[in-house]
Amino acid sequence: MRVIEHLNNSKQTAFSFEILPPLKGNNIHKVYHVIDKLREFDPKYINITSHHSEFIYKTLPDGSYQRVNIRKRPGSVAIASAIQNKYGITAVPHIICKGFTKDETEYALIDLNFLGVYDLLLLRGDVKTLDPNLDKSLYYNYATELQEQVNNFNKGIAADGSTFEANETPFSYGMACYPEKHEEAPNMESDIYYAKKKVENGADYLVTQMFFDNEKYYSFVERCRKEGITVPIIPGVKPIVFKNQLTVLPKIFRSDIPELLAKELRKCKTDNDAKIVGIEWCKGQCKDLIAHSVPSLHFYSFMATDSVHQIAKEVY
């Protein structure tokens, strides 16, 4: 069943979560361990993040430079197929345009279609860790351009403009939105304008960046509805598990930490103290979101599986 079908058919707030592929050298059992821990809450779908390789340039003894790959993970295509086949749970691989060429994206779509994985989340991806020497003509700048490639693939049009027999089951996909504004957007009006464009061009639903203040989510949804955006807007939530996330999360994700939460985190002497505070705050968020009949709670579970399990156990 497609994600949008789960959302439309569910009589209560659904449960879903996102996993990060393990670093090279690890195997699929690390992924299975996370799923096995959270499967009791009947996840309707599981997202698999995708990341481009990260490089540094190392100075050699002769003064020249060598590009060194410092971080590489298994592709989301293989992991999505493994999850869907082992558990029968809808798998949603992330397809990103930063760090992946148009041809690489097409090969991913071909593989996913072949494997029977038809749900996607289309994203721009992280631009901060890209190799500056990449040929920019081979890549898209924005997720909406990636969206056009997927739409064309569904119609049987390849990246080079040639045609082929369209896949019998077209891809369905969601895209990102930002209750606190994307860092590059000049204002919230502009951000909502592009969110609407994503929906007009085929996005079945939107998933928010993590937030810690529910009122910002409710306000964002209300503004979207006034602009004619009617698709489900799924709240993305993450329990804090480390003390340093008080400053790290706002810096990386541009997510505000409400002062009441910040005050409690400042009292924490250990990461375990912060984890307890994070669980209680996220639990309160989730109960309130469920009371407002949100379509799904989507957990960013990276390094927070135990916390997510504890929260889900009390709110579902």
Per-residue DSSP letters for the chain?
--HHHHHHH-SS-EEEEEE-PPPTT--THHHHHHHHHHGGG--SEEEE-----EEEEEEPTTS-EEEEEEE----HHHHHHHHHHHH-PEEEEEEESTTS-HHHHHHHHHHHHHHT--EEEEE----TTS-TTS-GGGS-SSHHHHHHHHHHHHHTB-TTS-B-PPPSS--EEEEEE-TT--TT-SSHHHHHHHHHHHHHTT-SEEEEPP-S-HHHHHHHHHHHHHTT--S-EEPEE----STTHHHHHHHHH-----HHHHHHHHH-SSHHHHHHHHHHHHHHHHHHHHHTT-SEEEEE-TT-HHHHHHHHHHH-
Q: Considering the entire predicted model, what is its pTM?
A: 0.90
Structure confidence at residue 57 (pLDDT):
44
CA 38 to CA 308: how far, in whole Å?
8
Structure confidence at residue 97 (pLDDT):
87
155 Cβ neighbours under 8 A, 6+ residues apart: 166
Q: Domain containing 281: what range?
A: 3-315
116: left (phi over 0), alpha (psi -120 to 50) or beta: left
Structure confidence at residue 178 (pLDDT):
96
Contact between 119 and 172 under an 8 Å Cβ cutoff? The reply is yes
* pLDDT tens, the chain, 316 aa long: 999 999 999 889 999 999 988 876 678 898 999 999 999 999 999 999 985 544 444 455 654 445 444 446 667 899 999 999 999 999 999 999 887 899 999 999 999 999 999 999 999 987 555 555 667 678 898 999 999 999 999 999 999 999 999 878 999 999 999 999 998 899 999 999 999 999 999 999 999 999 999 999 999 999 999 999 999 999 999 999 999 999 999 988 889 999 999 999 999 999 999 999 999 999 999 999 999 999 999 999 999 999 999 999 999 8
CATH number for the domain spanning 164: value is 3.20.20.220
Helix axes 102-115, 76-87, angle to 10 degrees: 10
Structure confidence at residue 291 (pLDDT):
97
Looking at the structure of the chain, the number of domains it has is 1
Structure confidence at residue 15 (pLDDT):
97
Contact between 218 and 165 under an 8 Å Cβ cutoff? The reply is no
Q: What are phi and psi of 101, to 5 degrees?
A: -75, 170
